[in-house]
A and B are shown apart, each in its own frame.
Chain A
Amino acid sequence: MNELAQRLGEYRGEIVTSIVETGAMLGWALLAAVLIGLPMGTGMYLARRGGPKERGWLYSGLNGFVNVVRSVPFLLFVVALIPFTRWAVGTSFGTTAAAVPLSFVAVALYARWVEQTLVDIPRDTVELADSLGANTFQLVTRFLYPEARSGLVLSMTTVTISMISYSTIMGVVGGGGVGDFAIRYGYQRYEYDIMYVTIAVIVVLVMLIQTFGTRLSMALDHRSR
């Protein structure tokens, strides 16, 4: 045990670096999820068949994008996206480059969650907005988002946790991160105890994020109180 603690102490610098790398990849991916995935999911909700602003061509396009991104196995997706990544951020290697495919997946996942969350809002809410003369932007920002906010937070929690899982394989493009640390030291150098400690750290992190997300969502939800 003392020996493990000693080795953990030795790797302290690398552990901190890998946590920062995971944080950076997650940060970019979740920023993309909010800035692109939220409007995209809202667009899918509005444009879907029977939606408030039905537009078949728009829904088909967005829905197709989400389905394609979600269905390609992630490791293949990372590799297949390399030309785009190189064009977008100038390199296909490193933490910033790793954030590109992660962002794609985060956008697609969150867009689908947003669409599903908004579908659960009673149709009466849309009718109310119409009767009050609200335009589409007001419908979304003054009626749908306030009513859906607890669901949107829970969805973001789920996406965040998925992204932690996805980020663990980003070592293949030099993205680093906690998962990469566990594989390099735990698996490739046969220091399995290091790997188990790292997994335990990730489990604790996921539990903390889920607890925070659930509590925030409950605090925002006044539907049954």
Chain B
Amino acid sequence: MIEFDQVTKSYTQRGARPGGPVHALHEVSLSVGESEIFGVVGESGSGKSTLLRMVNALELPSSGAITVNGVNLAALRPRDRRAQRRRIGMIFQQFNLLANKTVLANVALPLNLHQRLGGLAERGLGSRERPGADAPSADRAREMLDFVNMGAQASKHPAQLSGGEKQRVAIARALVNEPDILLCDEPTSSLDSQHTDEVMATLLRVRAEMGTSILLVSHELDVIRGACDRSAILESGRLTGIAEIARLQARESFESYSERARKYLEGDQE
């Protein structure tokens, strides 16, 4: 599904004194399978976000090749590359919801980018849209909001939501085009533990019900251990190993906050 073959990414720093390039990634090879949740862990500056951003060609490799479903995005013309990107969902640490659009309009946005003719649907989805706007994209967006349990908040604006709710809306937006792959860039790093659990439970449901492959970048080891099948470990741009994660833990880690709190306080855990 996703293949990295000897991928190196190096930068020459602007305005720096002449010297060697800085390697963000160095000869990384790995593969992510269908419906797999694959983690990437590492400290700040280890290159994990660069690795993620190379999957949808937001950054291009300096050498080596990345193929997604057999397609090398870096080799495509910009227009074809944009078309491929629409088939890969992505969520971000800071959610990146558009503040002036409603929750529903945010989720429908990727669908409306596809509509070459006129964007009629979006006109029914502006910040003052009527609930029940009849465009097909609105229906699909509502379906996804229901999937992440945010259907009741469709007409709100992002500033009215909690962090966890924002990230769930972002997940709905990333999935609205039915991508095969979901890229997650530190999706829980700015959330408290309760909201982290909500978001991670949602991601597990995404894989279970949609079969989406998920590439999850995080510095939070608990998050990786609780959700991933395998995880790459990066250090200073080099892949130092790929850990196989015991499947048993995946189901235990995202039980409800109150359940975990009770176990922890009663000394029933570890």
Contacts and interface: CB of A to CB of B under 8 A. Distances in A.
Interface of A: 122, 124-125, 127-128, 130-135, 138, 142-143, 146-147, 149-150, 220-225
Given A223-B100, A224-B159, A130 B86 contact: no
A96 B71 CA distance: 58
B100 A133 contact: no
Interface stretch (B109-117, B131-139, B244-252): B109-117
A138 B83 CA distance: 13
6 contacts: A131-B88, A132-B109, A132-B110, A134-B113, A147-B99, A222-B100
Contacts of B109: 132, 142
B85 interface: yes
A71 B80 CA distance: 44
Contact-residue size bin, chain B (C-beta under 8 Å from the other chain): 20 to 34
B35 interface: no
A132 B113 contact: yes
Nearest to B95: A124
A174 B113 CA distance: 50
Contacts of A149: 100
Contact of B157 (A122, A142, A147, A225): A225
Interface string B88-119: 10101010101111000000011011000000
A130 B58 contact: yes
A220 B100 contact: yes
Contacts of A223: 99-100, 159
B160 interface: yes
A131 B100 CA distance: 19
B145 to A, nearest CB: 17
Interface string B164-202: 000000000000000000010000000000000000000
B146 to A, nearest CB: 21
Contacts of B100: 146-147, 149-150, 220-223
A134 B113 CA distance: 7
Contacts of A138: 113
Contacts of A127: 58, 92, 96
B160 to A, nearest CB: 7
